[in-house]
């Protein structure tokens, strides 16, 4: 089924326009599934039924995969068979009636404003890399963009005079995000004092570059964030998404409306954004319990 799998990946990329990370997730899930089928000498999708798929899902569970991993695998398999059905390769979708396991929604980790301040104060503005790191961290918190969007920024995407940032999100959807004066100044300082010295290629269009003068990578930024998180003595594990979560929560705590936050985050469904209202409600409850004499 390698041929069908390759054609499905091309279909998701070209016709559906899915982001690279989403494509990789689909491919990982389906490669594992096809490997399982090969072990059981099943070499054609028409031979697969719901019992075989459930046997595979049981194997995932026995191997201690999380419910979110199993749920994602079901979605990938279901989409694959929908594609095969549309192409006339199979007559029915054996994954159609699979029930995804219920995933317990965990509230995302959010930093306090004082923790954010400590983190953003770590890079040294006296160093070339420090100016770059400061600019990336300030911009991430000021805009709430994803790490993939941050490293994907080009010079032309930064508009300091109008206070906006242009970025491409999932599915290459472009959106305009406002940014504040602190982030604008930090990025401008980096561009004026540091970028030209770090960038060895005059033709490089990336806004943020690494020590080799090439576009900053996801892994490179993760290392940078990990270093400053350690220096700032913040308890717990911090990821780029932690800053994104903090951005959204702090906006809502200070009176921003949900629709505006949804647009800034680039969420297609407002229900995705609504999880942050649970965090703000939880904080309100904590304040009430501490402050009210009859709480």
- Would you please indicate which residues are annotated as catalytic (active-site) residues? 146, 170, 241, 244, 267, 276
Strand order in the sheet with 164-168: 158-159, 164-168, 174-178
Going from the C-alpha of 111 to that of each of 13, 143, 214, the distances in angstroms are 35, 16, 31
Give residue 200's Cα distance to chain centre. 29
> Residue written as tokens 């070339």?
128
3-state secondary structure 140-188: HHHHCCCHHHHHCCEHHHEECCCCEEEEECHHHCEEEEECCHHHHHHHH
3-state secondary structure at position 206: strand
């Amino acid at each position: 089924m390698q041929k069908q799998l390759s054609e499905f990946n091309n279909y998701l990329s070209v016709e559906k326009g899915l982001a690279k990370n989403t494509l990789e997730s689909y491919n990982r899930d389906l490669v594992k599934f096809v490997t399982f089928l090969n072990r059981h000498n099943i070499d054609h999708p028409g031979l697969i039924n719901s019992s075989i798929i459930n046997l595979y899902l049981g194997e995932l569970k026995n191997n201690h995969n999380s419910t979110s991993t199993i749920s994602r695998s079901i979605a990938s398999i279901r989409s694959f068979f929908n594609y095969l059905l549309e192409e006339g390769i199979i007559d029915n979708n054996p994954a159609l009636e699979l029930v995804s396991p219920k995933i317990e929604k965990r509230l995302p980790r959010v930093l306090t404003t004082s923790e954010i301040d400590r983190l953003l104060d770590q890079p040294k503005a006296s160093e070339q890399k420090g100016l770059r790191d400061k600019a990336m961290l300030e911009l991430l918190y000021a805009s709430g963009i994803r790490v993939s969007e941050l490293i994907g920024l080009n010079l032309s995407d930064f508009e300091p005079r109008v206070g906006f940032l242009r970025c491409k999100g999932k599915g290459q959807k472009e959106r305009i995000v406002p940014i504040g004066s602190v982030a604008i100044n930090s990025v401008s300082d980096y561009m004026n004092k540091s970028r030209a010295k770090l960038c060895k290629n005059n033709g490089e269009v990336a806004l943020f570059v690494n020590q080799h003068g090439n576009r900053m990578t996801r892994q490179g930024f993760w290392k940078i964030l990990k270093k400053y998180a350690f220096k700032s003595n913040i308890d717990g594990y911090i990821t780029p998404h932690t800053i994104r979560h903090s951005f959204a929560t702090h906006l809502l705590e200070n009176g921003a409306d949900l629709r505006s936050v949804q647009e800034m985050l680039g969420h297609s469904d407002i229900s995705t954004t609504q999880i942050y209202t649970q965090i703000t409600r939880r904080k309100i409850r904590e304040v009430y319990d501490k402050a009210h004499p009859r709480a």
